[in-house]
Structure 1
Amino acid sequence: MCFSKCAKCMGYLLLSLAILCIVANILLFFPNGETQWSRENRLSRFVWYFHGIGGAGLVMLLPAFVFIGLEEEDCCGCCGHKTCGRSCAMLGSIVAALIGIAGAGYCLIISALALAEGPYCRTSTGWTYPFSNTNTHYLSDHSTWSQCIEPPKVVVWNVTLFSILLGLSGIQIILCIIQALNGLIGGICGACCCQERSQVINLHLLFC
């Protein structure tokens, strides 16, 4: 079925994006490639929400593997018909897609909040969130980034990685929505074809 092949492609895309999200979240623990800031708990509070590792990462592995396996999945057949079983599997993939949307949505929300608040850093007045009340204006006003003294280049580090997580999780949501629609259409079409096939078989048995 072309629907299951499409789901398989979606699955591999989601798998790749999930790995990238995990890597991006891990890098947030090491501003400028240094480990001392995580040991001293000098990181933005949103880093500890594990939104890239958990939400858009490990949680996304479930729908990714479900979608990849749909081409061979037939739910042990349905009424003896393999096609009907695949239709059932396609409809079941909608649940996996909803789980993926929830995980990616969590990552997207946390990333947006982290960008709005800005990084936790040491300024001339001590450790604080210097951009928390700027309504994200600091993102376009790079001259203000020098307020953060430590960790070095933490603003660039956080903005880049949180933006990557925001973008990747947004793509994941779109892919999961597409697969949910694909599963719905594929499941309904498969069920209709299966019903027609059953009617043909019953007519054949009736006249034989």
Structure 2
Amino acid sequence: MCFEKCARCIGISLIPLAVLSVVADILLYFPNGETKYAGKNQLTTLVWFFEGIVGAGLLMILPIVVFISLEDDGCCGNRNCGKRCAMLASVLVALTGMTGAGYCFVVSAVGLSQGPYCLTDQGWRYAFNNTNGRYLTNYTTWSQCIEPYHVVTWNVTLFSILLGLSGIEIILCFLQLINGLIGGIFGNCCCDQESRGCNEIEVNVYQVGE
């Protein structure tokens, strides 16, 4: 059915998004590829929220597996009943995915607004914490961060990527939520229509053969 195929496409589409979210989050721990700042705890505290690794990454495993497997046969020998139950259950799974992606989206937005933790003339601090995100378009102020080198560009790029990826995940999970509701409620009707159509074709072929 089209509902299960749609769910499978959504599940497959979530795979690269989840992988990229994990990679982007991991890179936040190593500004410019350097490991010393993570060891000295000289990173923004938001990176320890694991928004990309857990929220938009690991929590997407369940939706991915469930959405892709929806195209398999139903349970207990009753394909239609199993399909409808599975589609309705996928709604809860979609909500789980939306929660994880939403968590990543919110933390990434806060990370962009707060700015990086960096070394300035006044020591290690959040140089842009009181700008309400206005520093994002005022590139001349980025030079306030002396160390890590280019940390503002690094954080803005990666948090923006996480923001975009999690936003797409929210949309895809929401689409599956709608798809699951429609498929769970009207799935049998569609199956009956498809079955009648197939039976009519078989009868016509049989009559032609006679």
TM-score by length of structure 1 reads 0.90
Query: Are residues 1:9 and 2:9 paired?
Result: yes
What is the CA–CA distance in structure 2 between the aligned matches of 1:29 and 1:108, rounded to whole Å? 18
State the number of aligned residues.
194
Using the aligned pairs only, state the percent identity. Answer: 61
Q: Which residue of 2 aligns with 1:200?
A: none
What is the CA–CA distance in structure 2 between the aligned matches of 1:172 and 1:24, rounded to whole Å? 15
Match of 2:152 among 147, 152, 155: 155
Match of 2:161 among 160, 164, 183: 164
What is the CA–CA distance in structure 2 between the aligned matches of 1:144 and 1:85, rounded to whole Å? 59
**Aligned-partner residue type, residue 146 of structure 2:** I
Q: How does 1:128-143 map to 2 (within 5 A)?
A: 128-143=125-140
**Aligned-partner residue type, residue 94 of structure 1:** V
Which SS does the other structure have where 1:42 is aligned? coil
1:132-191, CA deviations, whole angstroms, 9 ceiling, x for partnerless residues? 001111000100000000001100000000000001000000000000000110111114
Asked whether the equivalents of residues 30 and 38 of structure 2 are also in contact (C-alpha less than 8 Å), the reply is yes
Unpaired segments ≥5 residues, structure 2: 195-210
Q: Which residue of 1 aligns with 2:100?
A: 103
1:89-138, CA deviations, whole angstroms, 9 ceiling, x for partnerless residues? 11110010000000000000000011110000000110000100011110
Which SS does the other structure have where 1:168 is aligned? helix
**Aligned-partner residue type, residue 38 of structure 1:** A
Which SS does the other structure have where 2:56 is aligned? helix
Q: Which residue of 2 aligns with 1:66?
A: 66
1:49-94, CA deviations, whole angstroms, 9 ceiling, x for partnerless residues? 00000000000111111101100051334xxx31221111111100
Q: Which residue of 1 aligns with 2:90?
A: 93
After TM superposition, where is structure 1 displaced by more than 2 Å over at least 4 residues in a row? 191-197
What is the root-mean-square deviation of aligned Cα atoms in Å?
1.5
- What's the CA shift for 1:192? 3.9
Asked whether the equivalents of residues 73 and 79 of structure 2 are also in contact (C-alpha less than 8 Å), the reply is no
Which SS does the other structure have where 1:41 is aligned? coil
**Aligned-partner residue type, residue 51 of structure 1:** E
Q: How does 1:193-208 map to 2 (within 5 A)?
A: none
- What's the CA shift for 1:16? 1.3
Which SS does the other structure have where 2:29 is aligned? coil
TM-score by length of structure 2 reads 0.89
What is the CA–CA distance in structure 2 between the aligned matches of 1:150 and 1:2, rounded to whole Å? 53
Which SS does the other structure have where 1:128 is aligned? strand
Q: How does 1:19-30 map to 2 (within 5 A)?
A: 19-30=19-30
Asked whether the equivalents of residues 104 and 172 of structure 1 are also in contact (C-alpha less than 8 Å), the reply is yes
Which SS does the other structure have where 2:57 is aligned? helix
What is the CA–CA distance in structure 2 between the aligned matches of 1:192 and 1:26, rounded to whole Å? 47
Q: Which residue of 1 aligns with 2:208?
A: none
Query: Are residues 1:188 and 2:185 paired?
Result: yes
**Aligned-partner residue type, residue 102 of structure 2:** G
